[in-house]
Amino acid sequence: MANHSQLGFQDASSPIMEELVEFHDHALIVALTICSLVLYLLAHMLVEKLSSSAVDAQEVELIWTILPAIVLVLLALPSLQILYMMDEIDEPDLTLKAIGHQWYWSYEYTDFKDLSFDSYMIPTTDLPNGHFRLLEVDHRVVVPMESPIRVIITAGDVLHSWAVPTLGVKTDAIPGRLNQTSFIATRPGIFYGQCSEICGANHSYMPIVVESTPLPHFEAWSSLLSAS
């Protein structure tokens, strides 16, 4: 959960998010190196007197052609690796279908016979003490930790987006189309997200709450919900 004075990302709770944070730091170091080099060259030109004994033009052209190519390779290789990892869905233990509506989410656990529910934001007037305003819902998405989860995402009316930053998940919900993503929650906890596509007047009132629990707790929860 982010706080008011936080400058960086939220703590990663999935392998994909860990890779995204590492790539961000890597790209930041590359950008910092480029800015430092350019700043040094500008300062050197301002301080030193210009001389006619400059480096041969061919050598300069070779340098400013090769260096950008090297920088692009340093950025492209880890970026492509993460893109392939995000698209890879290999034998999920659980499949969850998320359907966006104006302005709430519906969830279906397709591996169970009859396990589905609607998830609405809890109004501020009904919010228990200690819960987060505009982020808490009446029915959380409960998933087993350390298990591959596939999420099939669509919408029933307009464009929505199912996004949980700490899990590294953000996928558009499009009417008439099924998109899919996956994640593995590496630790137990409660992870908050929101619809990240402007979908109408109450766009900011359809939060997402994912609760990661050990497998025995998830089995007990699913049995209790199915029985009711």
DSSP states of 121-166: BPPGGGPPTTSPTTT-BSS-EEEETTS-EEEEEEESSS-EEEEEGG
Mean pLDDT of 209-227: 89
% of residues, the chain, pLDDT over 70: 95
Q: Looking at 56, 87, 118, which one is the last position of a domain?
A: 87
Report strand pairing: 179-183 vs 149-155: antiparallel
Tell the residue number behind the tokens 């199915």, with chain if given. 226
CA 193 → CA 75, 123, 140, 152, 182, distances in Å? 28, 17, 11, 16, 15
Q: Position 202: which residue type?
A: N
CATH number of the domain bearing residue 24: 1.10.287.90
Instruction: Give the per-residue pLDDT at 51.
Output: 59
Q: Position 126: which residue type?
A: D
Mean pLDDT of 12-22: 92
| CA–CA dist 8, 74 (Å, integer) | 22
> Does 60 share its domain with 134?
no
pTM: 0.83
Instruction: Report yes or no on 206 lying in a domain.
Output: yes
> Does 61 share its domain with 115?
no
> Does 148 share its domain with 116?
yes
Cα–Cα nearest to 104, from 197, 207, 210: 207
Instruction: Give the per-residue pLDDT at 158.
Output: 92
> Does 79 share its domain with 140?
no
CATH number of the domain bearing residue 204: 2.60.40.420
Instruction: Give the per-residue pLDDT at 54.
Output: 54
Q: Indicate the DSSP class of residue 203.
A: G
Instruction: Report yes or no on 203 lying in a domain.
Output: yes
Instruction: Give the per-residue pLDDT at 114.
Output: 85
Instruction: Report yes or no on 181 lying in a domain.
Output: yes
- Rounded to the nearest integer, the mean pLDDT of the chain is 89
> Does 119 share its domain with 220?
yes
Number of domains into which the chain is organized: 2
Instruction: Give the per-residue pLDDT at 63.
Output: 83
Instruction: Report yes or no on 6 lying in a domain.
Output: no
Instruction: Give the per-residue pLDDT at 25.
Output: 92
Split at pLDDT 50, 70, 90, the class of 11 is confident
Q: In which domain, by residue range, is 72 found?
A: 15-87
Q: Looking at 50, 67, 87, which one is the last position of a domain?
A: 87
Cα–Cα nearest to 144, from 207, 222, 225, 226: 222
Give CB contacts under 8 A, 24+ apart, made by 220-224.
221/142, 222/109, 222/112, 222/115, 222/142
> Does 109 share its domain with 70?
no
> Does 63 share its domain with 100?
no
Mean pLDDT of 171-194: 93
Instruction: Report yes or no on 9 lying in a domain.
Output: no
| CA–CA dist 162, 167 (Å, integer) | 11
> Does 146 share its domain with 37?
no
Q: Looking at 31, 55, 87, which one is the last position of a domain?
A: 87
| CA–CA dist 111, 94 (Å, integer) | 7
> Does 174 share its domain with 200?
yes
> Does 83 share its domain with 100?
no
Q: Position 38: which residue type?
A: V
> Does 59 share its domain with 164?
no
Instruction: Give the per-residue pLDDT at 5.
Output: 77
Instruction: Give the per-residue pLDDT at 48.
Output: 77
Distance of CA 223 to the CA centre of its chain: 30
**pLDDT tens digits, 50-108:** 655 555 667 778 888 898 899 999 899 999 999 888 888 778 999 999 999 999 999 99
Q: Is the pLDDT of residue 2 over 80?
A: no
